[in-house]
Structures are given as C-alpha cells and as structure tokens.
Amino acid sequence: MMRGTTILCVRRNNTVAMAGDGQVTLGEQVIKEGARKVRRLYDGKILTGFAGGTADAMTLLERFEKRLSEHSGNLMRAASELVKDWRMDRALRRLEAMMLAADRTTTLLLSGSGDVLEPEGNACAIGSGAGYALAAARAFLESPEGGAEDIARRSLTIASRICIYTNDSITLEVLEG
C-alpha cells in the first residue's frame, strides 16, 4: 500500500473526474498541504494522478508524457510502453509509485510490477486512502444524483476524514464528453 496520498477517478454521464489530496508527508510529519498530484497531459486530453514518492512520480509523469507524444495520445499504448520501461529499466524498477490515467473512454491503473489494469465499474482509487474513497464513490454512484466531479470531491473529503495520510486540500480535474 502506498502511504501518503489518495487519488480517485470517477466516471458518470460522459464526464471523467480525477481528484487527489494535497498532503505530502515525510515519515510521520506533514511537509506540505497543497501539493498538486493530479495533472492534465497531452494537451489536456489525459488526466493523471500519482501516489507514492514525489520524485518517483514526477519521473514517471515525464516518461508517460513522452510515451503519449510518441503514440499520438493513445492511452493504452502509451501506458503499456511506460509499464514495460518501468518494469525492465534498472533505475525505474526502484521507483515507488502508482499512477491512474484516464481519457474520455478509459481509466487505467499503472504499477511498477507490470500492471496496466482497466478497473471494472465507474470508480478507481490508489494510495493510502484508496479504500475509503472508492467505497464512498461506489455508494454515491448508486444514487442517480450528483455528477462525476461532485462524487469525486465528496468521496475524497470522506477519505480525508479517515486516512491520516490524506487531507482535504483537493485538486480536481475534469474531462467532459
């Protein structure tokens, strides 16, 4: 389990929302409260969020952006190539991070152990508060009320009240279909 953050991706009615908290911890100490762990890539068409070591995640984001450019924004191809690099490259293998990536149609969970997973359902989460945020999102998705953005924000707020490594300084990015 990655300690130190929560990232959640929610899909509803042709809208994709990805939210992440802003807390950065070093051991048991909060170092920063407003970090930006959710970003737009490839001219704003791809949402990404990371959990794990900040420097490791930045390295992965840089590599992922390069792969997206090489594959003309094809999320699955870029993700597969990144994970192949991550698993096989001696330096990258040591990185401790996980990543969510989404475009208008697909959400992917990427890990250094070679995983490129397309989660079932309309919500996916990573990080220390993932279970809390995912449970809340699934419960909110059972109701016809609320859009993806509202559900992501409310679910992450719930996770921030339970997980000590997650705060309520939320970054939220949205892709509308």
Average pLDDT over residues 142-158: 97
Supply the mean pLDDT for the chain: 91
**Residues 6 or more apart from 76 whose CB is under 8 A from it?**
106, 108, 116
Please give the DSSP secondary-structure letter assigned to residue 155. H
Dist CA 107 CA 97 (whole Å): 17
Establish if 1 belongs to a structural domain: no
Choose between 85 and 3: higher pLDDT: 85
Residue whose token pair is 């109701």:
143
Residue 163 sits in a domain of what CATH number?
3.60.20.10
Q: Is the pLDDT of residue 78 over 50?
A: yes
* Res 107: pLDDT: 98
- Cβ-in-10-Å burial (0-12, 13-18, 19+) of 76 comes to middle
* 109-121 confidence digits (pLDDT tens): 998 777 899 999 9
What is the number of structural domains in the chain?
Answer: 1
**Residues 6 or more apart from 130 whose CB is under 8 A from it?**
1, 6, 7, 8, 51, 159
Average pLDDT over residues 67-71: 97
Q: Is the pLDDT of residue 2 over 50?
A: no
* 87-109 confidence digits (pLDDT tens): 777 766 666 778 999 999 999 99
The residue range of the domain holding 95 is 6-176
Residue whose token pair is 């990258």:
92
* Res 1: pLDDT: 45
Establish if 169 belongs to a structural domain: yes
- Cβ-in-10-Å burial (0-12, 13-18, 19+) of 13 comes to exposed
Whether 17 and 67 have beta carbons less than 8 Å apart is answered as no
Q: Is the pLDDT of residue 3 over 70?
A: no
* Res 93: pLDDT: 67
Catalytic positions, written as ranges = 5
